[in-house]
Chains A and B, each alone.
Chain A
């Protein structure tokens, strides 16, 4: 049987979190009362003139730079003409042949394998209004009328188009997640999938393995989570393989992901709907970016996830904890950096933050920015564990005390009576007692069963209410058993 290779490209729409819309001064905001943020421009009233929002252009430049794109020296807006009720002008202001950004890439890792996904372009456009179809059961096909809310009309929207470099459903998901993390990091979008501030479309085709030519592509829409993106792409690959294996042909079309049915459905497309008759938007003048402006924007970029990952690995973290920490809330990363400066072992500090500290935040339903932990305090905790002042398990109690406002690491360890007994003399007594009570164990040990030491360590720990330094106990036991 022929093996097929999926070829996937993804289009991501990102709503920018500007204060005002792309071409007018109406407020941008999710959840406002319908039609309260509207004006002649975003309603498409005759005679209204758009003026470009400078912030939106700077943010799309920032997105492009973060995606290793080139920023065009010169860029223009076009009108994309089509008829739909939520598009009041009957055209969308978008970009055609000269997008603001082009030719970049994003590295995506799945199961330790990194793939470089090319970015074709990132262009600026305006969002449409929102339509709600009402009627029998609210279904789109049986709607009796359509309700329109133009609050979203004219919200700045960046469309990022990948090259067809993605080869699996899992990679599609990873790409989308990576991109979301990036725009969240840049602070240019709310990046909330559930509110529609990031939306995905996927272009899927298959080709026999080893063949260069692309197969017929199908566009899938309506995935509103990373999970549904992955499942929709997975379903579509299987569907196409089945069609072709049965001797059929894949039809070029747009399909709609049905979340409940777990399938994609063909969408009835109207004749000529792809004939958008683009032409230059005469109401908006061309944009010329210029080196000075580009460098000004570049200087505002924060540290990006890929750069941070590299810095963590250089600091000594393994790639797994580096990527977990890199994706952690900014507050935790700040604590990590402070702790490292204060001399904490980076690996231990990262483990605390992504393990116990994250678990504490979840358990106490505390938001990360409210975490009551300074980097220097974490460094102290890491230090007393390394010095054997407290055991690894007692250190969790110490952390709990620290986060409950009981003081610094040493202070809590003492107040909660968690300091290990590291004094050899004090421990010897306990060790002697345990040995005296377990003559069988001594015999077993001398018979060659060294494992019994573990049992004896446990007995000493019990006798000292867990306060003995287990390493020291182990050492003392071995000395005495061999002696």
Chain B
């Protein structure tokens, strides 16, 4: 049985502005996905090891060495807006 989810809440968390029809469509689809996940959860096996990570290996590190960074002007030239070496974005909190 598909799992019922609060699709409007999920859409809000993902900052998606969805129409009622879209909400209904995704609600059904995500419900099916969750139902499948619930079935996987019921499988035998130790979830903390083999299925924890898709790759079968551990302990991949780099040494603490500095490597050259990108050229700032080149990076900022690709941003929609920049000023004095900073990225400029809309205000992080909307006004009251």
When distances are taken between beta carbons in the complex, the residues of chain A under 8 Å from B86 are 34-35, 132, 147-149
Partner of A282, one of B53, B72, B76: B53
CA gap between A38 and B68 in the complex, in Å:
9
Q: Contacts A53-B62, A145-B90: A280 and B85 contacting too (C-beta < 8 A)?
A: no
Chain B residue nearest to A141 (CB atoms) is: B96
Do B15 and A83 have beta carbons less than 8 Å apart? yes
Q: Contacts A143-B91, A286-B53: A36 and B64 contacting too (C-beta < 8 A)?
A: no
- In B1-54, the 8 Å CB interface with A consists of 9, 12-13, 15, 48, 52-54
Do A277 and B13 have beta carbons less than 8 Å apart? yes
- In B43-77, the 8 Å CB interface with A consists of 48, 52-55, 57-70, 72, 75-76
CA gap between A150 and B58 in the complex, in Å:
29
- In A78-95, the 8 Å CB interface with B consists of 81, 83-86
Write the nearest CB–CB distance from B29 to chain A, whole angstroms. Answer: 18
Do B70 and A39 have beta carbons less than 8 Å apart? yes
When distances are taken between beta carbons in the complex, the residues of chain B under 8 Å from A285 are 53, 55, 57-60
Write the nearest CB–CB distance from B72 to chain A, whole angstroms. Answer: 5
Q: Which of A18-26, A231-239, A407-415 interfaces with chain B?
A: A18-26
Chain B residue nearest to A289 (CB atoms) is: B59
Write the nearest CB–CB distance from A413 to chain B, whole angstroms. Answer: 51
B: which residues have CB within 8 A of A?
9, 12-13, 15, 48, 52-55, 57-70, 72, 75-76, 83-93, 95-96
Additional 16 contacts, C-beta under 8 A, given A24-B67, A39-B67, A145-B89 = A20-B64, A20-B66, A25-B65, A25-B68, A27-B69, A33-B85, A35-B86, A53-B61, A54-B61, A54-B64, A147-B84, A147-B86, A148-B86, A280-B53, A286-B52, A286-B59
Q: Can you list 14 pairs linking A and B with CB atoms under 8 Å apart?
A: A20-B65, A20-B67, A38-B75, A40-B70, A76-B53, A85-B92, A132-B86, A143-B95, A144-B91, A146-B92, A147-B83, A148-B87, A272-B12, A286-B52
A: which residues have CB within 8 A of B?
18-20, 24-27, 33-40, 43, 51-57, 74, 76, 81, 83-86, 131-133, 135, 140-150, 268, 271-272, 275, 277, 280, 282, 284-288
